[in-house]
Chains A and B, each alone.
Chain A
């Protein structure tokens, strides 16, 4: 490749194992920001530099720099946390953060609003509670997702263990993290070479998710590397291996697009890590390191062809992959309320709108969960849909938990419209540097308006999958929404329509750059006709194709291999 390396590649190469000048940047009192290169390297340590965009212009006039703060993201494979860890994170969010905890679409916690001088104490405290933030962001393997399905107790345990194993195996080996945040002494001459990543890590972020059918809550087709657990008689017998999914695109750049992962074949449970390494190192060696817009695995596969890619992966695994096993997905959402696991423990799935736990007049989410964590004997599971499962509850504890749920207004799952229950929104304004339009802050009022229409056509109980994203990068996996708003500018969105509810079909652009009135005007007749013309159990996205509103899907009916 003759194109020059992107600046980030040069930065990584010269970063001395991701250290850069982070220590000096952190100590500089003149600014609440880090030096440019260090802000980039910080991502590998699990934090993003942000600023409060609501006051950016105001502060510029005040001759003050932007109100810089940092978002810290945990590494939490499979989204499982203990009650003790919950309480510790809650305390950090209150002491150093902006008084809220956010559950992400990748089953991690985010604490927002940490100012520079509190960054180190916060990261150190997270490590104290036996979590960390290593590689939660950056050009590495991100938090490994695993289905939060708590009912299949044994399978869930196996899949969770797999997510932990993958996450641990793919951690960077540099001691930079421990030196900078945990005061570990630098060991002279220590071997810090990166056996999997190599000196410049990956060309771009890399996402792994494990789904347990029939629930595709992890949106396995959106992952760079996906595993579909094959369960037979309650036992995990292996995985279908998927690669090449990814949501991000850039407005106005036709070379970029969301893409669903391809199914490569079947692997045995013990091939989990070799297979992951094979896919990841192929991307490491062949991914585009010149243009970061084109460096995700999906473009590598499309550039070289799927056949070539499978061959390369098989070569690295050391054997041919047998055909994928049969599987089916019912939907990609969560099941709210109480369910009993096969092990006799109970699990309560709560709806957490946009994953944000904060105390408001309507709902005291942060306090409520704190009180629950104080009495909860089991663990917490963050779902890929930004919701929360209070898992492993003994039958006799249920009432106590229900009382707290009600007391703090966390029982919204019992009376929300179906659309409200399943909607996703990314953070966007005011903290996300990439946001072009509102998402999390806009979701409630947008739903209020759409619910008026839903009510008019008796669709309140129809689960229609809505996703809002403040930019085209796709943290809320918008291209898998039956209805999706993708931010273009403040108050303006691209309206995307027509995904399915199983995470197997991408939506498509329906109207470009319209405002709220335009969105509602467009949706109303479609919802009206859907209400009167839908077949039994026909989902909104499917209806749009059958009725001809959208022309036949040109891609990716994922084949059911048997």
Chain B
């Protein structure tokens, strides 16, 4: 397992990741040490790799900045531009954010964003529970009004199992308890992931005191987004590619807390950010290596940074990108930039899979399979392989790679699997899935 990658994924995309794996970790004082420990373990696991001729050393860690997760930098939004066409249902934003000069990052790193809940959802919750928004609640040494707690300190869009359990005791009907008692963990997890707090309160009315509510809700966690730029190319900026999570539920508009927060940030406003390192997701130190980047959807973000970086350092290895989306006409993210990069020889190959542009659904893994011989020969030549995007895609691509290696390398399933594990151990195969 790529533990660091999975850790990153934990917060990377809303409604997935961390709470599904650790549904009960909802207190900061527990979460922080857990993260720390997991990171250390991850590094430990990864250290066991044997040194071989093809290994590429990790870059030295960058010296720490004035700012951190706990002390975020107030970064100004320079650009907030939708990059899917008007006919696309998906609102994907390209954000450019001004960084303090001490906030350095490498392509592959993530930008942590501390979001604030939208006033509408805060008002809804307060209204549903008929609470006083100005009531002051003290927890530890923090004294804030209920509105302040709910706006910037508590999760309203992601619920924990323990919160739902507590709520069930306040709800007079039976069906919520029945669900929780079913011990069908998958069904419970799915149910929880589909409820924002107003949905739950709407469907299963129950009473809460303000202080009880604040104590029971999970602390608001920052969201991590793969940085889509290279500092060498853009200076003191970080670029993000953010898909706005937005859907209708019971005639109400529901949004992901951070993507909605980011989408609403006008140019000139500030938002609290920090850099989250991802040492396992790096361009090769040996710039003569080829790289094969598989990044459909917003998974393309880090590869924009990779291509910028490799261009700036004059890398001699070739860059091959596989991108996919639903339709070319409206969701070909950064189309003009890729066209330009191809023309200038900064990107050497671009294969595309647009799932809805023909009768049969085509995804990136199919393009990989179609180019199996070349994929294998790139790997044999020492190319580095990267996957970024949705978990399910990551699995499909992994399987395609196994089949390609098995067929073109004349290997058994086990050996193909071993081949990929070795690539992973020597830092030539990295995933950032969420």
Contacts and interface: CB of A to CB of B under 8 A. Distances in A.
B86 interface: yes
Interface stretch (B34-42, B216-224, B337-345): B337-345
Interface stretch (B52-60, B328-336, B386-394): B328-336
A61 B267 CA distance: 15
Interface in A1-47: 29-32
B339 A62 contact: no
A67 B335 CA distance: 12
A64 B329 CA distance: 8
Contacts of A31: 339
Nearest to A67: B329
B278 interface: no
Contact of B336 (A32, A63, A67): A63
Contacts of A58: 86
B82 interface: yes
B94 interface: yes
Contacts of B339: 30-31, 65
A520 interface: no
A303 interface: no
Nearest to A60: B336
Contacts of A65: 335-336, 339
B85 A62 contact: yes
A64 B334 CA distance: 6
Contacts of B350: 30
Given A30-B339, A30-B350, A63 B329 contact: no
A63 B83 contact: yes
B215 interface: no
Nearest to A33: B339
Contact of A62 (B84, B354, B357): B84
A251 interface: no
Range for the number of chain B residues in contact with chain A: 20 to 34
A495 to B, nearest CB: 35
A59 interface: yes
Contact of A32 (B82, B94, B328): B328
Given A62-B85, A64-B83, A64-B85, A29 B352 contact: yes
Nearest to A115: B329
B81 interface: yes
Contacts of A67: 85, 329
Interface in B330-389: 330, 332-339, 342, 350, 352, 354, 357-358
A59 B83 CA distance: 8
Contacts of A169: none
Given A63-B336, A63-B337, A64-B335, A32 B86 contact: no
A61 B338 CA distance: 15
B85 A55 contact: yes
A503 B334 CA distance: 51
A294 B329 CA distance: 38
Interface centre among B86, B334, B337 (most CB of A within 10 A): B86
A362 B84 CA distance: 33
A117 interface: yes
Given A63-B94, A65-B336, A30 B81 contact: no
Nearest to B340: A63
Contacts of B335: 63-65
Contacts of B329: 32, 67, 115
Interface in A470-528: none
A59 to B, nearest CB: 6
B81 A62 contact: yes
A29 B328 contact: yes
A67 to B, nearest CB: 7
Contacts of A60: 336
Contacts of B83: 62-64
Contacts of A61: 81
A62 B342 contact: no
Given A29-B328, A29-B352, A32-B329, A59 B85 contact: yes
Given A29-B352, A30-B338, A62 B82 contact: yes
A30 B352 contact: yes
Interface string B85-99: 110000000100000
A63 B239 CA distance: 14
A31 B358 CA distance: 16
Contacts of B330: 64
A64 B328 CA distance: 10
A64 B332 contact: yes
Nearest to B94: A63
Contacts of B332: 64
B329 to A, nearest CB: 7
Contacts of B342: 30
A41 B217 CA distance: 65
A156 to B, nearest CB: 44
B361 to A, nearest CB: 16
Interface in A43-80: 55, 58-65, 67
Interface centre among B82, B336, B354 (most CB of A within 10 A): B336
B363 to A, nearest CB: 14
B385 to A, nearest CB: 22
B50 to A, nearest CB: 40
Contacts of B82: 62
Contacts of B336: 60, 63-65
A64 B337 CA distance: 9
Contacts of A59: 85
Contacts of B333: 63
Interface in A108-128: 115, 117
Contacts of B352: 29-30
Contacts of A30: 338-339, 342, 350, 352
A207 B249 CA distance: 60
Contacts of A117: 357-358
Contacts of A63: 81, 83, 94, 333-337
Contacts of A115: 329
A32 B354 CA distance: 13
Contacts of B94: 63
B127 to A, nearest CB: 37
Nearest to A58: B86
B89 to A, nearest CB: 15
A55 B85 CA distance: 9
Contacts of B334: 63
30 contacts: A29-B354, A30-B352, A32-B328, A32-B329, A55-B85, A55-B86, A58-B86, A59-B85, A60-B336, A61-B81, A62-B83, A62-B84, A62-B85, A63-B81, A63-B94, A63-B333, A63-B334, A63-B335, A63-B336, A63-B337, A64-B85, A64-B332, A64-B335, A64-B336, A65-B336, A67-B85, A67-B329, A115-B329, A117-B357, A117-B358
Give me the 7 closest cross-chain CB pairs, A-B, nearest first.
A62-B83, A63-B336, A29-B352, A64-B335, A63-B334, A63-B83, A65-B335
Given A62-B81, A63-B336, A63-B337, 5 more contacts: A29-B354, A30-B342, A62-B82, A115-B329, A117-B357
Interface of B: 81-86, 94, 328-330, 332-339, 342, 350, 352, 354, 357-358
Interface of A: 29-32, 55, 58-65, 67, 115, 117
